Amino acid sequence: MLLRAALLTVATIVSITAVGAEPYRKFYNAGLKDYKAKKYEEAIQKFKEGLAKSYDAGSKYNCLSYAYYSALNAKKYDEAMAFATQIFELQSDLPARGILFEADVLRNMKKYKEAIKLLAETNISKWNKSLLVSYHYKLGSIYYLDKQYKKALEAYEKYLKSAYKDYSRSSALLRLGNTANFGLKDKDAARDYYMRTIEIKGVHKSYKQDASFRIAVLDAEKKDYQAAVDRLKKNLKTSKGYHQALCAYYAGIYLLRLGEKDEAKAMFEKGIATKKYTGGYIAKCKKQLEKLNPDK
């Protein structure tokens, strides 16, 4: 699982301008190239070499952070934990990052109880607001994975309260909606969270699309297929890739339930025409068309 949000800050921690930066830069940039290509084991080696050539705490942090995420994605959890420990020791004035990284490792190892214990026992009274946002998000996600949905909801509410950017607020509301929807089976509460997600002025595009799609599915669960189709058609005006295929497929399914066979066919064809996506919803659209056109 790629943790892109955390990496956005890691990549910009230090400006590489010092005279001694060149040896470090060479290995660090090579590691980034391997990381982006999902060659995680190769990336780990490059970041290790970059670490050995690092000239200050910032460059060491960059290498350790990406080495950590590379190990995590390669499912080398012992190695990831070792990098997390080094980050913890490096950031002696701010051990919070090491704790959050360690919790990530435990989560990826599916040791949810241990991760929850680590976070729950941590004193966060002196953490800055950025770290608090990460803390509540991680705690909520781990409670959810451990199927402790009420506690997940509580943690995500704190995530929402601590969020100070629209991106984080929309992320928190979407996760609250999913927890209420899939965990607690509270469809009315879920719909409210999803509606609040799409109403945020600076909502991230993918979060808005996800929330709007979920509202359409909730409409369909109440057999209000027309409302579901109308919302999915609206989504399709701005959707590409996965979301285009997803919305086209479900719009086609709901149109069939309304008896609109020709329009359903058009939707499945739109799903098949999706670019930059080769996943399962294209295959599902093709299967539906085959059922509708058995002689072709």
The total of other beta-carbon atoms located within 10 Å of residue 49's CB is 18
Name the pLDDT band for 191 (thresholds 50, 70, 90). very high
CA distance 161 to 169: 8
pLDDT at 20 over 60: no
CA distance 142 to 111: 9
Q: How many helices (H) and strands (E) does the chain have?
A: 16, 0
Q: Where are the domains of the chain?
A: 1-109
Please state, in angstroms and as integers, the Cα–Cα distance from residue 17 to each residue in 7, 33, 56, 59, 72, following that order: 21, 20, 12, 11, 29
Bigger pLDDT: 40 vs 23: 40
Do the beta carbons of residue 30 and residue 67 sit within 8 Å?
no
- Confidence (pLDDT) at 8: 36
Do the beta carbons of residue 184 and residue 149 sit within 8 Å?
yes
Model pTM?
A: 0.76
Domain 1-109 has CATH 1.25.40: yes
In tens, the pLDDT along 98-155 reads: 788 889 889 989 999 999 999 999 999 888 898 999 999 999 999 999 999 999 999 9
- Confidence (pLDDT) at 95: 66
CA distance 83 to 61: 10
Do the beta carbons of residue 14 and residue 59 sit within 8 Å?
yes
